[in-house]
């Protein structure tokens, strides 16, 4: 399929990463949700991977920032420029058709925020914008038959938010979200190192530590990671060795918040659907789901089996692809077209 003939695009506009999915082709773009803007003339200089390289390394004249906070648009103009960049990169700038675009949004989005996403998508060059709630798309992408009259529970742990929902007959029956995701875990690790070792590390280093040795439960055989940063007292560069269980301790409070959100949803779920969830278990998706032993921690805390979805990071994006391919089936149940 040449870029010019792409008519449908699914976008998972995440706080940390933006993933673009084209039905029939699969994932075509997976880049960080970061934009670099010049201070003087407010011009967009770089988007995605290129802009991420600039994070924490820019001079005064350039600001590299994430236009999405906690899963919603914090900077409208920058988000529109970013959507335009991703749509053009997918379809080519010489496109014959304006594509239909489906964008994933948090379940708790307000009508004003929803409108902002629709406007940004249409202004970025879409013919039609479909806005669908993330937990529903994550469930579709994880292979859950959402249109059945049975309760399915999805836990989507993203970069900015963790969303928990029980879905039945294509709609959300009970849901809750916590503003805790991968970014908060990174911040907690950085804060822990600052307090315990007087070491200042950047977000990227904290994320590397989390990915390399992070675990939701304490481990017997501890892995270690050599972290580099700046000594707060002397101001000089310094190396320390971080242990796996220190990371577990650092992120424990944030994980407790996610568990509490899951318990709230279980509490609000009608009894019939609760029985289904107990029977089928909960499905864990999103980039944050890749934290080691998170499924085990949730299982221990709630007593309900918890399973990791296949390719958890891509669930929402895959869901947009499936929903776009079968637009007529899903149109009635999951979305309002704007």
Residue ranges of the annotated binding site are 15-17, 159-161, 207-210, 287-290
Interior angle at CA 157, CA 128 and CA 295, nearest 5: 140
Q: Is the dihedral of CA 278, 154, 256, 204 positive or negative?
A: positive
Q: How far apart are CA 152 and CA 242, in angstroms?
A: 38
Q: Are 65 and 34 in contact (CB under 8 A)?
A: yes
Residue numbers belonging to the annotated binding site for ATP = 15-17, 159-161, 207-210, 287-290
Q: Are 330 and 141 in contact (CB under 8 A)?
A: no
Task: Please count the CA atoms within 13 angstroms of the CA of 199 that sit on its side-chain side.
Answer: 21
Query: For 196-224, b where at least 16 C-beta lie within 10 A, e where not — what string?
Result: ebebebbeebbbbbbeebbbbeeeeeeee
Our separate counts of H helices and E strands in the chain read 11, 19
């Amino acid at each position: 399929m040449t870029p010019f003939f792409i008519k449908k695009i699914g976008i998972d506009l995440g706080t940390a990463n933006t993933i673009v999915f084209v039905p029939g082709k699969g994932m075509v773009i997976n880049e960080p949700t970061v934009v670099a803007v010049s201070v003087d003339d407010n011009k967009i200089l770089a988007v995605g991977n290129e802009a991420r390289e600039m994070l924490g390394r820019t001079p005064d004249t350039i600001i590299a920032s994430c236009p999405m906070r906690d899963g919603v648009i914090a900077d409208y103009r920058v988000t529109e420029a970013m959507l335009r960049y991703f749509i053009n990169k997918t379809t080519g700038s010489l496109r014959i058709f304006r594509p239909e675009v489906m964008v994933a949004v948090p379940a708790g989005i307000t009508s004003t925020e929803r409108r902002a996403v629709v406007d940004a998508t249409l202004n970025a060059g879409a013919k039609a914008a479909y806005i669908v709630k993330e937990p529903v798309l994550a469930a579709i992408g994880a292979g859950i038959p959402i249109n059945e009259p049975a309760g399915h529970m999805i836990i989507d742990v993203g970069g900015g938010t963790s969303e928990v929902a029980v879905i039945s007959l294509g709609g959300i029956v009970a849901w809750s979200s916590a503003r805790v995701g991968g970014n908060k875990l990174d911040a907690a690790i950085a804060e822990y190192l600052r307090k315990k070792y007087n070491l200042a590390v950047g977000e990227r280093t904290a994320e590397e530590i989390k990915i390399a040795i992070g675990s939701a439960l304490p481990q017997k055989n501890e892995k270690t990671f050599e972290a580099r940063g700046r000594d707060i007292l002397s101001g000089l560069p310094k190396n320390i060795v971080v242990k796996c269980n220190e990371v577990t301790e650092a992120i424990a409070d944030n994980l407790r918040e996610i568990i509490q959100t899951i318990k709230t949803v279980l509490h609000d779920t009608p009894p019939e659907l609760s029985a289904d969830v107990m029977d089928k278990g909960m499905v864990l998706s999103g980039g944050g789901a890749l934290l080691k032993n998170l499924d085990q921690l949730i299982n221990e805390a709630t007593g309900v089996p918890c399973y990791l979805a296949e390719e958890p990071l891509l669930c929402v994006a895959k869901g947009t692809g499936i929903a776009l391919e079968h637009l007529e089936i899903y149109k009635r149940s999951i979305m309002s077209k704007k």
